[in-house]
Structure 1
Amino acid sequence: MAGANTKDIKRRIKSVESTMQITKAMELVASSKLRKAKERVETARPFFTMLYDTMRDAAISNRDFSSAYVAKREVKKSAFVVIAGDRGLAGGYNANVLKYATQLMEGKNALVIPIGKKVGEYFSRRGYELHTEKYHEAEGLYLEDAYDIAQMLTAMYRAGKIDEIRIVYTKFVSMLTQTPDDLKALPLNFSEELTEKPAAKETLYDPSMVEVLDVVVPQYVGGLIYGAVTESFASEQGARRTAMEAASDNADTMISDLNLKFNRARQAAITQELTEIVSGANALQ
């Protein structure tokens, strides 16, 4: 009985050690990807900040709401660009952003543009309308892909097929902190800046502000999408690294506990054998 028990424990130790090797490897891969993802976020942020400032100034100049991108309209249908991961084992990363997106869509006629395999799987199972699954891999999405999505969405917006565009993603705060967030890409709404900024200092656009917006807005929306993708990818790697580090620590603790149980079981087996030998010798006497 004791021998069988020690064999089971040894088998369990080997199993946990194998799992620990996998989690350690995944932690190292996630750490490597996280470094590159952080560099991409830091490189992209200044461009998108400048783009945001340009769009704000253009919206302030269009006080008569002559542009379709600035004009207010009744929201009958909303397009949600939802960004999550392509795979699991990243703690609560996917679950948190998908739950957040579902809450935003509640009570709305929502059209979903999924970026990330988990998004397509999640919303297709729940009966949401998916416009396209062409860009379902978040890791392989580049700037030109973001611009393609933006061109498609802005064309639908101008045609009146959708009335607002929102981007749901995970904001990268630090390696330990990632928070779900959303951006309202269209219609352009800079109400605070419109009240704070003086009307006397306005920019002149040639040939006209409306034509400039028609060219710049798709790039602006594409920039927002790409920026959100970089933030989300860095968040995913940070969450996966944290999850795999915790899993490795738990596996190490389990191995220590199992080694202690193994030593106790082996000591008990040795004690039992000695007792049986002594008992047998006493019986022969």
Structure 2
Amino acid sequence: MSNAREIKNRISSVKDTMKITNAMYMISSSKLKKAKINLKNTQPYFYSLQEAIVRVIKRIPEDVKLSYFDDRTDKIDRNKGYIVITGDKGLAGAYNNNVIKIAEDELKKDGNHVLFVAGNVGRSYFENKGTNYDAEFKYTVQNPTLHRARVISGRVVQMFNEKKLDEIYIIYTRMINSLESKAEIQKILPLRKVDFMDEDGTDDGTDETNYIPTPHDVLNNLIPNFVTGFIYGALTEAYSSEQNARMMAMEAATNNAKDMLKELSIIYNRARQAAITQEVTEVISGAKAQKRKKL
């Protein structure tokens, strides 16, 4: 029965693992629902902010130079900043690997690169690989908040204004739907007017708002808030995608555990049956031997 005992211990181990994976699935499901609610509640504000930027841009003459729209084409040796959003832990399928792969591809391109890594998995990866990153940029990605997004945007926007960075990108995982997500890179700064304008770029002339002191000054105050909203949205979507990826990974692990338990149960029953048959055979053989001795 030693073989059957080993199989029984393995069955017990698989059951314990299945309890853990199922619990992680439930926890991720709860976190995902909360993250979706937070994102939904804040989206109207940032959509309104984007519409306000559009109205202001239409009131600024074309010849006026806007600092946040300056692509600095005269600079050859460009400084590029990348906000890389990974998870704080694994067990989420290919979630972290997809983001890290995009970051590594960007690091191979020309220019000076500065990494701002949010999430313990990404920091550990780049640290172990010896890749330079901003060591003071230590942010977790659990329960993203608007305050955290504002602090991050304040840091990168300041570096852009001081011309320490000429381009700022964010690498994160966008949640397409409940079954699909995609790791992608988006450019934060400098902005492009065409991204805010209508398809024809025309002005309907209905905006009679007065901008004090000037539309240019108003826009310079709106853009940092817009960047904050973009980063907050990316943090929330990445967090949602992580929980969704972990749910799918844990669901697959739980299903695999169930299949393994079925196979182990069959093997265990066969082992028990073989052991019982062996014992019965030994008893019968012993009885026959005793009978022959009497004869």
Aligned counterpart in structure 2 of residue 16 of structure 1, from 14, 17, 22: 14
- Report the AA paired with residue 31 of structure 2: K
User: Displacement, 1:261?
Assistant: 0.3
**1:184 corresponds to 2:187:** yes
Identity %: 38
For 1:1-285, list aligned pairs within 5 A. Answer: 3-62=1-60, 63-74=62-73, 76-107=78-109, 108-191=111-194, 193=197, 196-198=200-202, 201=205, 205-284=211-290, 285=292
Q: TM-score, normalised by structure 2?
A: 0.88
User: Displacement, 1:103?
Assistant: 2.0
Gapped regions of structure 1 (runs ≥ 5)? none
User: Displacement, 1:182?
Assistant: 2.3
> For 2:13 and 2:33, how far apart are their aligned partners in 1?
31
Cα RMSD (Å): 2.1
Moved more, 262-271 or 203-212: 203-212
- Report the AA paired with residue 106 of structure 1: K
User: Displacement, 1:204?
Assistant: 6.0
Cα 1:163–1:241 shift into 2, 3 Å: same
Moved more, 129-138 or 3-12: 129-138
Cα 1:191–1:126 shift into 2, 3 Å: farther
CA contact (8 A) 2:14 2:257 kept: yes
Gapped regions of structure 2 (runs ≥ 5)? none
Deviation track 1:151-182 (CA, whole Å, cap 9, x = no partner) reads 22111111111001111111112232111122
User: Displacement, 1:185?
Assistant: 1.2
Deviation track 1:65-98 (CA, whole Å, cap 9, x = no partner) reads 5111112213601111111111111111111112
Max radius of gyration: which structure? 2
CA contact (8 A) 2:150 2:228 kept: yes
Deviation track 1:198-236 (CA, whole Å, cap 9, x = no partner) reads 267477633223212221111111111111001011111
Cα 1:106–1:159 shift into 2, 3 Å: same
Q: TM-score, normalised by structure 1?
A: 0.91
CA contact (8 A) 1:73 1:163 kept: yes
> For 2:53 and 2:126, how far apart are their aligned partners in 1?
32
Cα 1:195–1:32 shift into 2, 3 Å: closer
User: Displacement, 1:259?
Assistant: 0.8
Cα 1:56–1:129 shift into 2, 3 Å: farther
Cα 1:60–1:118 shift into 2, 3 Å: farther
Moved more, 167-176 or 42-51: 42-51
How many residues are aligned here?
283
CA contact (8 A) 1:59 1:70 kept: no
